[in-house]
Amino acid sequence: MPRTKRSKRRVSSFNLWIRWLFVFLIILGLAGTILVLYNPFIEEIDLHTLLQANLRASKIIDHNGEEIVTLSPSRVIWTPLEKIPLFLRRAVIIVEDRRYYEHKGVDFKGIIRAFYYNILYRQRVQGGSTITQQLAKNLLLSNKKTISRKLLEIGYAVEIERKYNKDEILEFYLNDIYFGHGVYGIEGAARFYFARSIWELTLDEQALLIGLIRGPEIYSPYRYPERALERRNLVLSTLYNQRFLSQKEYEQLTAKPLEVQENPTYLSRGGYFADYIEEALRDEYGWSSRYIRAGGLRIYTTLDSFIQRIAEETVASLPQDENGGPQGALVALNPKNGEILAMVGGKNYRFSRYNRAVRVRRQIGSAIKPLIFAAAVEAGFTTETKVVDEPVTYMINGKPWSPQNFDAKYRGVIPLREALAWSVNTVAVRLVDELGVKQVFPFVKRMGLPLVEKGVRNDQALAPLALGGLTEGVTPLELCGAFTPLANQGLKSKPVGIIRVEDSKGRLLRRGSFRQEAVILAETARMVTAMMQEVITYGTGIRANPGRPAAGKTGTSNENTDAWFVGYTPDLLAVIWIGNDDRSPLRIDGQIIGGGTAAEYWGSFMRRALVRNTVKEF
């Protein structure tokens, strides 16, 4: 049937309207490019540096040679394009930007096509932004839907295409894109949703990840499984319609159910440790952050990925209330040489990058007592030396002060080992008083605690020195380091995280510095370790028992603001801290949290972290 004049006029009018839209888009693209290239307000943005910071991101590698994380801004596990499955690469282009290898950053035909279909179906069924535009927006701009932002997005896309080839842009895009639940990058997404590397995923699993790109939160398989399944099948349908899948493959893949892992544990593995290493390189060698992050360095470290994962899961599992509950930190060292095997500075690196393992300074309470008892052993005490646990009063600044035991009990005459096992305050104070503050103070400081030296006199320092208060606060890393002499026959080891640093061509730039110093007698270390074992077998740290020979000590600060446990086996030395960032008392549902709770989580960590190690005696 021939067209009527009215239908011809309608088609002619629509075509004219499309031509004007095409002209408008070209003008928009030119305006955006000019804005990027000549606008004085954004000339300080170095696009080349921003891209190179990720394309040449330095890598942090654990002591087994496994890559932990790259130092790119989003802390992704950077995956080169050639290591990303070809199916996934091609499928992303078909779904997100079909003319990717044809346009120069902006696809005007694609915008018009998307606009047409969105009007036709009266909903957003296609997007007009290219992969390069999406990258420009994610990298350099906000998500605000304004004309000025769109102009900049177009301009940046053209500039990116001018400076980089298509493969470089696609590699960066796949490593930078957000996949929901705080996860960036295709490899991180594979590990989060499926607990496997991207190379191990099936085609339907890859299709799910591709579907998440358009809306990672609204298509989350955890929050909206039916919607996620529908989205995955839409991706597979698109691939089938573009003849990228056969009909048999399409039918088999769409029939599969969603099978994501039930309890994802990916928490930006090693983020706190990566920050610590970056700061160490800055401070020790004077390197700039830009060079450390984007110099293509290979930083070989002491970290053990297996122990690090368990440490992160342990801290993430700390008790919480409706407000999120307390924060936590955990540091684990090799007791023989001070190598940092794990470092966690908070419950979730994505939500808080404040590294409490090296920044939070808190009073350690009774965790100082093994060091006090070590001073007594060096002065001639033994595990069986009789000490007195009874009420006693001292004059402090002209006022009477009577130390109290945490359980309000007094045991009379007891051996030294029992006094440590039950964390008896009166005995700790008597030891400092008998030995003298001026003898105990330098001893404890030599062990590695950062004590405050001003006004150190017997009458003023007696209580805080004996009960862990004569400091400006101790970090978990410092406390861990102070126990290395007890864990290693009297040798104090400086905690170290770097083994060596190589440049992008494999040339050696720096070697890590391992330092050890004999600060106590080996016999002293052996004797105090034996006493600390009893803390775990029947004393205040009984909840820490890891099912193998271990020595440790609880610590609770005044007013229950901080809970600690420090301990070791022949293979592993670890400290765990629990506390609120605002220094408020530790309570969950009205129940007080103290050193016993820290002991329980320390024991859980040690049991899992040492599962590969044979049981050893001290």
The CA distance from 241 to 249, in Å, is 12
DSSP state letters, 221-260: TTT-HHHHHHHHHHHHHHHHHTTSS-HHHHHHHHTSPP--
Residues 6+ apart with CB under 8 A from 251: none
Judge contact between 161 and 108, C-beta under 8 A.
Answer: no
What's the average model confidence in pLDDT over 404-414?
A: 90
Q: What is the pLDDT of residue 43?
A: 38
Residue 75 has pLDDT above 80, yes or no: no
Residue 592 has pLDDT above 70, yes or no: yes
- State CA 155 to chain mean position distance: 35
Tell me: the pLDDT tens digits for 489-536?
A: 999 999 999 999 998 888 999 998 889 999 999 999 999 999 999 999
The CA distance from 445 to 449, in Å, is 5
Q: Which residue has the higher pLDDT, 485 or 22?
A: 485
Count the alpha carbons within 13 Å of 225 in the hemisphere toward its beta carbon. Answer: 8
Q: From the CB of residue 605, how many other CB atoms can be counted at a distance below 10 Å?
A: 27
Residue 197 tokens read as: 């590397």
Residues, the chain: 618
Count the helix, strand and coil residues of the chain and give each as a percent rounded to the nearest 5: 50, 15, 40
Judge contact between 547 and 607, C-beta under 8 A.
Answer: yes
Q: Where are the domains of the chain?
A: 1-44+86-170, 177-266
What's the average model confidence in pLDDT over 322-350?
A: 91
Residue 193 tokens read as: 């949703």
Residue 411 has pLDDT above 80, yes or no: yes
| Beta bridge partners of residue 327, listed in sequence order | 579
Q: Any idea what DSSP says for residue 519?
A: -
If residue 518 lies in a helix (H) or strand (E), which one and from where to where?
strand 516-518
Angle at 477 between CA 471 and CA 319, to 5 degrees: 95
Tell me: the pLDDT tens digits for 459-484?
A: 556 666 777 666 678 999 999 999 99
Superfamily of domain 177-266 in the CATH hierarchy: Biosynthetic peptidoglycan transglycosylase-like (1.10.3810.10)
Q: What is the pLDDT of residue 11?
A: 42
By CB neighbour count within 10 A (0-12 exposed, 13-18 middle, 19+ buried), where does 372 fall? buried
Share of the chain above pLDDT 70, in %: 80
Q: Any idea what DSSP says for residue 105?
A: S
103 closest CA partner among 160, 186, 177: 160
Backbone Cα Rg of the chain: 31
State the angle between helix axes of 203-212 and 225-241 in degrees (0 to 180), rounded to the nearest 10.
Answer: 110
Residues 6+ apart with CB under 8 A from 6: none
The CA distance from 612 to 618, in Å, is 18
What's the average model confidence in pLDDT over 12-19?
A: 52
Mean pLDDT taken over the chain: 84
Tell me: the pLDDT tens digits for 558-578?
A: 888 999 999 999 999 999 999
181 closest CA partner among 172, 173, 191, 171: 191
Q: Which stretch, 141-145, 177-181, 217-221, has highest mean pLDDT?
A: 217-221
What's the average model confidence in pLDDT over 168-188?
A: 86
The CA distance from 524 to 111, in Å, is 76
The CA distance from 247 to 230, in Å, is 18
Strands 298-301 and 498-502 turn out to be antiparallel
Q: What is the pLDDT of residue 149?
A: 66
Q: What residues are labeled active site?
A: 96, 366
